[in-house]
Structure 1
Amino acid sequence: MSTLTFLGAVGEVTGSRYLLEVDGDPRPHKLLLECGMHQGGREAEEANAVPFGRLAGELEAVVLSHGHLDHAGLLPKLVREGYRGPIHCAADTAELLEIMLVDAAFVMAKDVEWENRWRARAGKPTIEPLYDEDDVARTLSLCEPHGYGQPVQLSGGVTLVFRDAGHILGSAIVELAIPSGGQQRRLVFSGDLGNPGSVLMKPPEKVYDADLVLMESTYGDRDHRPLTETLEEFAQVLEQAHADGGNVLIPAFAVGRTQEILYHLSVLYHQGRLRQQMVFLDSPMAIRVTELYARKRKALDPEDLKVLNIAAHGDPGQYLPVLRLTRTVEESMAINRIRGGAIIIAGAGMCNGGRIVHHFRHNLERPGTRLVIVGFQAEGTLGREIVDGAERVRVLGEELAVKAHVHTLGGFSAHAGQRELIGWAGAFRGKPRFYLVHGEPEAQQALQVAFAESGIDAEIPTYRQRIEL
């Protein structure tokens, strides 16, 4: 009998990883679904550092739903430890990975360099990064991109099909037909389902047949505000910041959220409602991803592209003339001389590193500053501390008072809300078994109750739980 073991994103949003062991003689075929990085505090770092052990050499294939680091960020570590098989992903995900993983290796190297300087002064042994750019290059060489709806044969007689999840460029719902006990069992992994109300991406595809469904539950406890209301609040926040003479800080995930925020700023600009005359995209990775989105226009929602009128060209500056792309450290540092009137979009999205923390240092203690949170903030991150109302936070070794106005705009989420999750799950024929993953316990429990009220039975798995298909 084929089995599935839950190795990550259990009781938490990040660290996606599931082991499939498929019927085989003399031993089962091992496939890994996702290889995500844990994101958060010290516990997440420790979890990421745990070796894969023999698994790295035993795996025959890896299947990836999309390119966000919490789903793909440990792939180079797996390769560093000996994995040499194929990495199956959607075509656009393969291109995103090149940007995401190279950046992750670069940031990791810088963090380790800083840490080792401190360790040398303290007389402690030095450490190594989880992986480096050579590991990333080997990882990218193993990627096998596939189109949506295209059946792919994997080892052990497994058939893979990707469907559009509508979350970010290249995001996929994963369908796997798996031999088990003399029968074919159909496993469907939702991946991260997109928010149908958000812009640029197409709505998530519905899937109708499954025996077992792994279901994300990030926002299982709430619905998002209607986009029109969110946009109006966003416009008012920008107006208030302009009136107060302060800057607007937007910690944005480089893939998906950044491009959506630029879209809405562009619309406000052309409506004459954007008073700020300086919009900085201060993230080399987000800049490269934004340029990739522009090149991949055919994968985006054509109705949204009509609004931007970028169907004929792909230069972001043409639809938002006040946008400035700051690629170098020197350009980023120069922004901190601007005391007001600027919108600064910078990573990391959960404020646990990147250039946004440097802008915090110069803006967080100013009452005129507006901090706009547009994405999920995991436990243990600086962003979560601020959202939960911390009056003082530690940034780059310095304690800062949070005097900025903090606004959380959940309507910009790239994830489906509770209502959309129930609607997607309710499309399945029959009564597949549902397992809720990618959610904090409260969200999972709320979605489990809401599912039950809709006639859907769902279980909440535990770490290392093993189930038969």
Structure 2
Amino acid sequence: MRLEFLGAAHTVTGSCYLLETGDERYLIDCGMFQGPKRIRELNHEPFSFGPSDVAGVLLTHAHIDHCGLIPKLVHDGFKGMVYTTKATCDLVGIMLPDSAHIQKSDAEMLNRKGRRSGEEPVQALYTINDAMDALKHLSAVPYNAEIKLSDNLRVIFRDAGHILGSAILELYVTEGNKQTKLVFSGDLGQPDQPILKDPSVISGADFVVVESTYGDRIHQIYDKETTLLEVIDDTMDRGGNLIIPSFAVGRTQTLLYYFYHLWKSGRLDGDIPIVLDSPLAINATRIFLKNSMDFDDEALTLFSKSGKIPHFPQVHICETAEESRALNSSEGSAIILSASGMADAGRILHHLKHNLWRPESTVLFVGYQAAGSLGRRLVDGIKRVRILGEEVAVKAQIQMLDGFSAHADANQIMDWLSTIRAPRPAKIFIVHGEGQAQEALKGRIQKELGTEVYIPFRGDMVRITGRASSIIPSHIPAVSIEMEMEEILRDFDADYRQIRRKVLQLVVRQPKTMEPVIKAMMKARNYLKKLFAPFNI
């Protein structure tokens, strides 16, 4: 058999792997690339295989970086079924149409700009009709049941504990008289998190493909409810809004869960409005409540009696764009949860535009921010950003709370891998992470587990026979760090020009008092030295 790595290879997004066994081809995930422009452009490249030759897709979960290119796959000729859990089917049913609307909106905006400069029209990646056609290919499968896809391929979906419906895939491939077990982690969740069950323990595997989003980091262990309450109280005392860019699926529901506990215990002021301003998150929350069979015991106790969110008086839902716009002209302070989680699209952009310049407001990130995303730039301390065509000064408090992530950290990934013992993997492939995280995780696996590790590039292929494997290197140009650095340097250049202009204005006003300017420049030089210190430059 052959396994080809077509996405999430030396990047965090675009999850996609092509498995060839005998005359059959199956995709594991078919996700969209997200982040810097150069990486997003990969979505428009033709598939490196014939979509009509693919017998089926095995989908780990409903996040767009795992399912977002399925409409394109269907449009280009895919005829098979997309096998996934029931909850994932339900979530994909809202995620893909929403993604199609974003593709259409983005294309229309680019074409308005392009017409003025004489550029060729841009086509949307796919249409709403493509998304609706893709939904016809979904086939729901239960957790822990063996599904026979062909005479030589069986699959079991195990709970990954990442978001509702997320799955670890156990694939059993029979070739001749040899059977090989492949395990795809999908995105692993953290143990002991609200609502969801812990990631399933896998008894053994010949080969494992594992994510590494937090492969170099350990989530802080702290009282999340108390810390969240402190951020709320501090922002409300300053008279600002608390803006939370929140992933519509998973993170929003977890935050609502924490808010409910804080209010129920009398710690959260019942007069503070909590506004859910994301049609996708609203629909996703309703789907969560329809799939309570996948909840952990604590969440079942809380939700199952009525199948509805418990009575929670200060939660307000913005269904329409008009209601969303009205939030930015209303008086008083509020907590506003809005998508997207990396602040790259959606209604959150309007809330950031109206609040980033306000020192009294807070922008709180509670999840992973990919390199090149607006969220990542804000967390990294950028002072001016361009949002919806307007330059905005960043004066609001920017905070990041670790530990709310739906991804397992390095220790939790290692704990999960260490339970795979009968047999132990012959090789582990590390995907879905940035370079530093992948290298750190590779080092730990080799040292602590003694297992051979490979970090594939996009287009790399591995030939597998039983427990033996050989790597066929890719001829596809890698998505290099230079692409991400271009995005960073553009932001740096914009900041530099702003600083230079302000320094010149100071010098013009006070030409004889250069000493404070020189001191400030020396301080800036020290900042740069600290930036490059880890590289011994």
Using the size of structure 2 for normalisation, the TM-score is 0.84
Map of 1:105 onto structure 2: 100
Residue from 243, 247, 252 that aligns with 1:258 = 252
Distance (whole Å) between structure 2 residues aligned to residue 314 and residue 273 of structure 1: 25
* Residues 1:384 and 2:383 aligned together: no
Map of 2:475 onto structure 1: none
**Residues 291 and 314 in structure 1, CA contact (< 8 A), matched pair in contact too:** no
Map of 2:266 onto structure 1: 272
What code does the residue aligned with 2:424 have? K
Write out aligned runs for 1:3-22 (5 A): 3-22=2-21
* Residues 1:163 and 2:155 aligned together: no
Write out aligned runs for 1:156-235 (5 A): 157-180=152-175, 182-226=177-221, 228-235=222-229
Distance 1:335 1:343, change over 3 A: same
**Residues 198 and 413 in structure 1, CA contact (< 8 A), matched pair in contact too:** no
Distance (whole Å) between structure 2 residues aligned to residue 174 and residue 54 of structure 1: 22
Map of 1:65 onto structure 2: 60
Write out aligned runs for 1:128-167 (5 A): 128-155=123-150, 157-167=152-162
Residue from 380, 383, 407 that aligns with 1:415 = 407
What SS does the aligned partner of 1:410 have?
A: coil
Map of 2:519 onto structure 1: none
Q: CA deviation at 1:304?
A: 3.0
Distance (whole Å) between structure 1 residues aligned to residue 349 and residue 431 of structure 2: 30
Q: CA deviation at 1:305?
A: 4.0
What SS does the aligned partner of 1:267 have?
A: helix
Map of 2:333 onto structure 1: 341
Q: Identify unmatched segments of 5+ residues in structure 1.
A: none
Distance (whole Å) between structure 2 residues aligned to residue 181 and residue 348 of structure 1: 48
Distance (whole Å) between structure 2 residues aligned to residue 96 and residue 57 of structure 1: 25
Map of 1:447 onto structure 2: 441
Distance (whole Å) between structure 2 residues aligned to residue 100 and residue 446 of structure 1: 33
**Residues 22 and 156 in structure 1, CA contact (< 8 A), matched pair in contact too:** no
* Residues 1:368 and 2:367 aligned together: no
Distance 1:456 1:341, change over 3 A: farther
Once the two structures are superposed, residues 370-402 of structure 1 have per-residue CA deviations (whole angstroms, 9 ceiling, x without a partner) of 111011111111001011111111111111111
Write out aligned runs for 1:396-411 (5 A): 396-411=388-403
Using the size of structure 1 for normalisation, the TM-score is 0.95
What SS does the aligned partner of 1:253 have?
A: coil
**Residues 310 and 319 in structure 1, CA contact (< 8 A), matched pair in contact too:** no
Q: CA deviation at 1:411?
A: 1.1
Distance (whole Å) between structure 1 residues aligned to residue 277 and residue 32 of structure 2: 24
Q: CA deviation at 1:29?
A: 1.2
Once the two structures are superposed, residues 105-131 of structure 1 have per-residue CA deviations (whole angstroms, 9 ceiling, x without a partner) of 112112212222222222222122111
**Residues 426 and 456 in structure 1, CA contact (< 8 A), matched pair in contact too:** no
Residues matched between the structures, number: 460
Distance (whole Å) between structure 1 residues aligned to residue 401 and residue 284 of structure 2: 22
Q: Identify unmatched segments of 5+ residues in structure 2.
A: 465-537
Distance (whole Å) between structure 2 residues aligned to residue 339 and residue 47 of structure 1: 43
Map of 1:395 onto structure 2: 387
Distance (whole Å) between structure 1 residues aligned to residue 59 and residue 4 of structure 2: 16
- Which stretch shifts more, 178-187 or 290-299? 178-187
Fraction of identical pairs, as percent:
41
Distance (whole Å) between structure 1 residues aligned to residue 449 and residue 102 of structure 2: 46
Distance (whole Å) between structure 1 residues aligned to residue 373 and residue 343 of structure 2: 7
What SS does the aligned partner of 1:431 have?
A: coil
Write out aligned runs for 1:42-53 (5 A): 42-52=37-47
Q: CA deviation at 1:311?
A: 2.3
Q: CA deviation at 1:17?
A: 0.5
- Which stretch shifts more, 37-46 or 284-293? 37-46
What code does the residue aligned with 2:232 have? L
Distance (whole Å) between structure 2 residues aligned to residue 352 and residue 284 of structure 1: 16
Distance (whole Å) between structure 2 residues aligned to residue 352 and residue 379 of structure 1: 12
Distance (whole Å) between structure 2 residues aligned to residue 301 and residue 74 of structure 1: 31
What SS does the aligned partner of 1:265 have?
A: helix
* Residues 1:437 and 2:436 aligned together: no
Distance (whole Å) between structure 2 residues aligned to residue 339 and residue 356 of structure 1: 19
Map of 2:318 onto structure 1: 326
Q: Which structure has the larger Rg?
A: 2
Distance (whole Å) between structure 2 residues aligned to residue 140 and residue 64 of structure 1: 13
